[in-house]
Structure 1
Amino acid sequence: MADNYLKLVNSGFTKELAKSLGLPRPSILRRYRRGQPLVPGPVVVLGAGSAAHELTETLLGWGLDVRRHAGGSEKLGALILALDAVEAPGDISSIALETGAALRSLAPGGRVVTISRPADATDAPARSAARQGVTGLLRSLGRELRGGATANGILLAEGIRADAPSATAALHFLLSGRSAYVDGQFLTIESARGELPADWDQPLSGKVAVVTGAARGIGAAIARTLHRDGATIVAVDVPQAGDALAKVANEVEGTALQLDVTRHDAGQIILDHARQRHGHLDIVIHNAGITRDKLLANMDAARWDSVMAVNLESQLRMNEAFLAAELPGLRIVSLASTSGIAGNRGQTNYAASKAGVMGMVVATASAMAERDGGINAVAPGFIETEMTAKIPVATRTVGRMLMPSLMQGGQPLDVAEAIGFLASDAAGGINGQTLRVCGQSLVGA
């Protein structure tokens, strides 16, 4: 949840005071609003090869001002680096240096996006080194940007063109305000599957989406965002959250389902509800989760087992039911956490469950692909919710100082935007992956 700190350090005399005291001054991030330009200025495409041409044609098709060289005093909305054809480390140099010269012209909230191919064990050593080098370049560059600008990458599997549907959709997402808190991350396009939306503002039109843990926080933000994007929502939460759940369901003009997801028949109950009330089921968002923090030396079975039951085992059982139902084109997105990637003191149970979610996603991807569907995960970092708003301002300020580029926590909306993208048909070529939404920081749960 946003607080007043951002406003205070970005306006009036408090802005100058913050500068004089050396306080972190995070920028107000450029987030999506219907009708706003995709990027805040012209787009420069750097590099040669087939991807540069394909990207230029795609961007021109969106009505953007596209240029092949940086220069002049005009602020740029985005820099796109076509690095798909690199064969040796030296191939990166000219584009990297040209990018560096253009960075001073990048507008606040601008974007840098690399297009490259993943390193492979069968590559020649020089090619593998160059391709892996793009990763280090991109992630380090993301830590140098200011003004709310971000840097992210798209990895094209062999044989995938830069204008494949999911590559196009990933580029649109990363350039837009929807990716405000995604920084230093890569999306791999593994296949040519995917179908671009007729309306980029309503990419989920006609879809029925289930959101678990929807009564508050990130879950409520997911329900609102998917509804905004055109989906019909089934909001799910425990009976104890009934009033809050009904409020969210009414707000998004969907239906509420009071259900404990740890029930062994939860998946079938969700299926029956969606079919009976809405005719079909297209999207499942596994958001329900709990924490029961304790140092492992003091951990008891109740804390450990309850976290595993809600955060991981319930998803495994529900996915079995959804796979058995042979739902064509079903897309599943699970909530992981940066705690499951880097660990977090006092969260061995939580980190184990969230790392387990990522393992589940990888192992389930092929079965989903056989049904023309897909499964991915989103791993939030420090997201500012009602709970984190209770942390003293000084403590939150120190925490923000540990975040090297954006210098702030994310909002529940930021997580919801990433989920909305991965839940769309346009992301059909993205499967079995985990996307971090953390401002390139591993702080938080």
Structure 2
Amino acid sequence: MTDTYAKLANGKWTSGLFKALNLPQPVTLARFTEGSDLISGNVLIGAASNCELVKPIIHTLKDAQLTISYPNSTSKLANLNAQFNAASLQATPISLNAIAKSDRFNGIIFDASGIKTSNELSALHRFFQPVIKQLAPCSRVIVLGRPSAHIKEVSNATAQRSLEGFCRSLAKEIGKNGSTCQLIYVQPGSEMLLEAPLRFLTSAKSAYISAQVINVKPGTVEGTINSAKPLQGKTALVTGASRGIGAAIAETLARDGAHVICLDIPALKQDLEKITHRLKGNSIIADITTADAPDIIAEFVREHPLDIIVHNAGVTKDKTLARMTNNHWDVLMDINLSAMERINERLLNEDLLNEYGRIICVSSMSGIAGNFGQTNYATSKAAVIGYVDAMQTPLAAKHITINAVAPGFIETKMTAAIPFTVREAGRRMNSLKQGGKPVDVAEAIAFFAQPQAAGVTGNTIRICGQSLIGA
């Protein structure tokens, strides 16, 4: 769907008018293209004193084609020179207070794990204040810390929890040029599992994700990985795959090497078979709410159990609560929530999801912030988040991870049908001042699905450009 406003806001003859009127001018986001991976260009790496996560950062970046800089040591910042030398990684020390106005950074990574007290939070200001205006368009800012729930000392836990407020506020300041800011909390013992989320969040695959917190936990990566095709040899089931976000998910998983089984209702059989043929996958024609749906799926995958399940199928049936019928509530809840629970229960009980499997659920911003006329939908999508949180522990015994995505305003046929004024508000009410694309949701799901993301479970990340509504 064309964003006419964005075209005018950045047009050759009209951009000056939009600027003069102080109207939003959305930056065209740099999205992933084949062959690209980590952010390219000039990356600045910094750390507070007593930093604990620089080593895995260096490990992630060591083979990338980057120009890496780090600040000269000050009283509040760590001296990184020895760590770069030990890793044989070329990096240039710079003075943060002597950076030329013409200098630009494509990425900034800061290890805040060493911050133990409120006084030490000044390291954030000392590092970021001189350089934040030097961000190039569509840059990435990543802050790393430790989850406060795993810290016994009150002052240390307090300081680490504060990083969320810092990152969310900074994301709003840098979003106007298409840049994003994320926070990664790394549990002790999971440091070498940092690579997958760090690679994802520094890449163009995370273009429409901002102000998110990803928790990395202990886990086990299965076997050797083909970095170009991380899902090679894996079988994925995607429900609601015939069009829109579901079709984009199927295409992205297939791009990464997975054999994809696409499922949708009989009424969408023709659309489903088109995408299945294009991806050289398989299709299951079924209504997930029928009593025999778990049987149909189980029998289909019995000879070749699944590695990845993506629960994307869902509907909206909007009415204010006072006008909502039993049917509006019950049918939606069955499609969006109960069917997912029944299918998972059957597949897990019969070991039809392999060890080291991945379950990814599609929630919604409505499940986080609520929405007028969507008490049923918001309830179902909030329940999806609760399901992910509750299931992470029992699934861990088989090294199975479970995560969710919560899309905001995504450009689809459904949002194209929204009245103009509501649609425009949905597009602009985020830090990036634009709607997302189905591929933005798909890229996040493909990240959760990859074997390297073994330490990422129990997470729900918003795909919303940092919506101004909700947490």
* TM superposition score normalised by structure 1: 0.93
- Does 2:25 match 1:25? yes
When the two chains are superposed, the root-mean-square deviation of aligned CA atoms in Å is 1.9
Q: Is the 8 Å Cα contact of residues 40 and 65 (structure 2) preserved in structure 1?
A: no
One-letter code aligned to 1:137 = F
1:226 to 253, 267, 276: 253
Partner of 2:93: none
SS of the residue corresponding to residue 188 of structure 1 reads strand
For 1:96-130, what per-residue CA distance to the aligned partner results, in whole angstroms no more than 9, with x for missing partners?
33212111211111000011011137632211221
Shift of 1:428: 1.2
Shift of 1:16: 2.1
After TM superposition, the structure 1 = structure 2 runs for residues 71-86 of structure 1, keeping only pairs within 5 Å, are 71-72=99-100, 73-86=102-115
- Does 2:177 match 1:147? yes
For 1:258-317, what per-residue CA distance to the aligned partner results, in whole angstroms no more than 9, with x for missing partners?
1111123323322322345xx331101000001110000111100000000000000110
Shift of 1:195: 5.0
- Does 2:284 match 1:257? yes
Mean CA deviation greater in 430-439 or 4-13: 4-13
Shift of 1:439: 1.1
One-letter code aligned to 1:259 = A
- Does 2:458 match 1:432? yes
Q: Distance in 2 between matches of 1:197 and 1:344?
A: 44
Q: Distance in 2 between matches of 1:211 and 1:13?
A: 44
1:406 to 416, 429, 432: 432
For 1:76-104, what per-residue CA distance to the aligned partner results, in whole angstroms no more than 9, with x for missing partners?
11100101111102222123332121112
Shift of 1:51: 1.2
Distance 1:397 1:24, change over 3 A: farther
- Does 2:118 match 1:89? yes
Partner of 1:341: 368
SS of the residue corresponding to residue 290 of structure 2 reads coil
After TM superposition, the structure 1 = structure 2 runs for residues 385-424 of structure 1, keeping only pairs within 5 Å, are 385-403=412-430, 405-424=431-450
Partner of 1:11: 11
Partner of 1:240: 267
Partner of 2:324: 299
Q: Distance in 2 between matches of 1:426 and 1:59?
A: 16
SS of the residue corresponding to residue 166 of structure 2 reads helix
Distance 1:121 1:364, change over 3 A: closer
SS of the residue corresponding to residue 347 of structure 2 reads helix
Partner of 2:80: none
Q: Distance in 2 between matches of 1:331 and 1:243?
A: 28
After TM superposition, the structure 1 = structure 2 runs for residues 164-183 of structure 1, keeping only pairs within 5 Å, are 164-165=192-193, 167-183=194-210
Partner of 2:57: 55
One-letter code aligned to 1:68 = Y
- Does 2:373 match 1:371? no
How many residue pairs match? The answer is: 438
SS of the residue corresponding to residue 337 of structure 1 reads coil
One-letter code aligned to 1:8 = L
- Does 2:355 match 1:319? no
Q: Distance in 1 between matches of 2:208 and 2:151?
A: 34
Q: Distance in 2 between matches of 1:21 and 1:395?
A: 22
Q: Distance in 2 between matches of 1:111 and 1:302?
A: 45
One-letter code aligned to 1:30 = A
Distance 1:423 1:406, change over 3 A: same
Q: Is the 8 Å Cα contact of residues 234 and 274 (structure 1) preserved in structure 2?
A: no
After TM superposition, the structure 1 = structure 2 runs for residues 90-239 of structure 1, keeping only pairs within 5 Å, are 90-120=119-149, 123-145=152-174, 146-161=176-191, 164-165=192-193, 167-195=194-222, 198-239=225-266
2:307 to 274, 277, 282: 282
Gap regions ≥5 residues in structure 2: 72-95
1:332 to 356, 359, 371: 359
One-letter code aligned to 1:225 = T
Q: Is the 8 Å Cα contact of residues 108 and 140 (structure 2) preserved in structure 1?
A: yes
Mean CA deviation greater in 393-402 or 359-368: 393-402
Q: Distance in 1 between matches of 2:406 and 2:164?
A: 19
One-letter code aligned to 1:226 = L
Distance 1:123 1:108, change over 3 A: same
Shift of 1:442: 5.5
Q: Is the 8 Å Cα contact of residues 428 and 435 (structure 2) preserved in structure 1?
A: no
Q: Is the 8 Å Cα contact of residues 40 and 107 (structure 1) preserved in structure 2?
A: no
Q: Distance in 1 between matches of 2:247 and 2:468?
A: 24
Shift of 1:443: 4.9
Q: Distance in 1 between matches of 2:334 and 2:426?
A: 30
For 1:307-358, what per-residue CA distance to the aligned partner results, in whole angstroms no more than 9, with x for missing partners?
0000000011011012112232221100011111111110000011111111
Mean CA deviation greater in 52-61 or 335-344: 52-61
1:309 to 334, 340, 344: 334
SS of the residue corresponding to residue 12 of structure 1 reads coil
For 1:31-81, what per-residue CA distance to the aligned partner results, in whole angstroms no more than 9, with x for missing partners?
111123621421111114231233123212334322212544332111001
Q: Distance in 2 between matches of 1:246 and 1:271?
A: 20
* TM superposition score normalised by structure 2: 0.88
Shift of 1:242: 0.6
1:384 to 398, 411, 427: 411
Partner of 1:273: 300
Partner of 1:44: 44
Q: Distance in 2 between matches of 1:122 and 1:54?
A: 20
Distance 1:57 1:361, change over 3 A: closer
